[in-house]
Amino acid sequence: MNVVSLGEILIQLNPINKGPLRHVNLFERHIAGSEGTVMIGMSRLGFSTEFLTAVGDDEFGKCIIATLNSEKVGTNFVRIKPYPTGVYFLQRGYPIPEKTDVLYYRKGSAFSVFSPEDIDPECFKDAVLFHTSGITPALSDSCRLATLRAFELAKEYGIKISFDTNIRRKLLPTAETAMKILDDFIRDAQILITGQGDLEFLFPEQKLEAQIGRLMDLASNAELIVVKMGKEGSMAYKGKDKIYVPAYKVETVDELGAGDAFDATFLSSILLGKSLEESLVYANAAGAIVASSIGDFEASPSWKDLELFISFQKEGERRLIR
């Protein structure tokens, strides 16, 4: 099965020590960016993928393309632009000990000029799913128009659309701006994924159930709404059914990429016909595995890894009960 995605993939510079960046001398270089990470995740789970993105004609761009190729993510439609590949830094554990701050150096990046003309409709032929997130239309007006074009093509080709609200406050600083940019995409997605943090940001006055109700009113085409709640687990709504699955308890080393691994695994499970509950169990497991190690995509699991993790957790529970 073929899946297509659109988004920016960047170089992530991840400090090896916690603390203020002005005193960090050593960084690990990683590859990150939500949609690209989802594509790597789905490729590892056996899907054939095409990733629509743009990188610069530079060393970082080469590094990204080599990584996508080594992960068997399709790069046939990647554009090379005369601007630098996007970069971001992490600042870990400072000033809030448990938090990681994301510092973007992506304004004017190669992907920021991606436009509808950069999308070759050919890539939608034979696809079963198109996935993107709220980061992509928030990057620039041309990126927003490109996302609209991708939605249009997905609809034309009868391809299911999955959209993760994925609100980044550095890109969408208020609920009003977020709603203005995301509205069209929330309305048209058939699979809508969100997070508890995004719901709180969009509908600050309300409790979770009411927030989900507000989102459902906007999501007029959604067959499935999924809410990621991190350490609390995840929920899915389909028609009148609501399923909740608790999270696996792991020691969080680097939570970035966990939500993307969740998306990749949830979408893969649903496409393969697994039940909603089973899909959430696998997706929670993927999120837990990725949160337990450094880097966004590196620990993204295969089916074998997922089975091993889940059976080990069950074994652990049994040991505790005994």
Over the window 100 to 119, marking each residue x when it contacts ligand KDG by CB under 6 A and - when it does not, the resulting string is --x-----------------
Q: Does 257 bind ligand KDG (CB under 6 A)?
A: yes
Helix-then-strand count for the chain, H and E: 10, 15
Distances (CA, A) of 70 to 64, 65, 66, 73: 10, 8, 6, 8
Provide the token pair at 27: 């960084």
Q: Does 164 bind ligand KDG (CB under 6 A)?
A: no
Q: Are 76 and 49 in contact (CB under 8 A)?
A: no
Q: What are the residues facing 236 on neighbouring strands?
A: 226, 243
The region of 16-24, 29-37, 121-129, 172-180 touching ligand KDG under the rule CB under 6 A is 29-37
Q: Where are the beta strands (DSSP E) in the chain?
A: 2-6, 10-15, 27-32, 48-52, 54-56, 73-74, 79-81, 87-92, 100-105, 127-133, 160-164, 191-195, 224-228, 234-238, 241-245
Least distance (Å) from ligand KDG to the CB of residue 275? 26
56 vs 259, beta carbon nearer ligand KDG: 259
257 vs 276, beta carbon nearer ligand KDG: 257
The region of 18-26, 123-131, 252-260, 312-320 touching ligand KDG under the rule CB under 6 A is 252-260
Least distance (Å) from ligand KDG to the CB of residue 5? 12
Its sign, for the CA torsion 196, 164, 261, 259, is negative
Find the angle CA(26)-CA(107)-CA(33) to the nearest 5 degrees: 60
The region of 26-34, 52-60, 149-157, 230-238 touching ligand KDG under the rule CB under 6 A is 26-34
Query: Which residue among 118, 164, 198, 260 contacts ligand KDG (CB under 6 A)?
Result: 260
Beta-strand relationship, 73-74 and 48-52: parallel
Q: What is the rounded distance in angstroms from the CA atom of residue 185 to the CA atom of residue 302?
A: 29
Q: Does 168 bind ligand KDG (CB under 6 A)?
A: yes
Which bin fits 64, alpha (ψ -120 to 50), beta or left (φ > 0)? Answer: alpha
Q: Does 256 bind ligand KDG (CB under 6 A)?
A: yes
Q: Does 211 bind ligand KDG (CB under 6 A)?
A: no
Task: Name residues contacting ligand KDG, limited to 282-311 (CB under 6 A).
Answer: 296
Least distance (Å) from ligand KDG to the CB of residue 319? 33
CA dihedral angle for residue 75, residue 102, residue 290, residue 280, rounded to 10 degrees: -90
Q: What is the rounded distance in angstroms from the CA atom of residue 50 to the CA atom of residue 134?
A: 19
Phi, psi of 236 (to 5 degrees): -135, 145
Placement of tokens 């709603």 in the chain: 179
Query: Which residue among 14, 34, 211, 269 contacts ligand KDG (CB under 6 A)?
Result: 34
32 vs 127, beta carbon nearer ligand KDG: 32
250 vs 290, beta carbon nearer ligand KDG: 290
Query: Which residue among 3, 24, 32, 291 contacts ligand KDG (CB under 6 A)?
Result: 32
Query: Which residue among 3, 52, 110, 135 contacts ligand KDG (CB under 6 A)?
Result: 135
Q: Does 41 bind ligand KDG (CB under 6 A)?
A: no
Provide the token pair at 190: 């058939």
Query: Which residue among 33, 56, 137, 230 contacts ligand KDG (CB under 6 A)?
Result: 33
Least distance (Å) from ligand KDG to the CB of residue 42? 15
What DSSP character marks residue 300?
A: P
The region of 31-39, 114-122, 215-223, 231-239 touching ligand KDG under the rule CB under 6 A is 31-39
Name the residues that contact ligand KDG, by CB under 6 A: 32-34, 102, 135, 168, 256-257, 259-260, 296
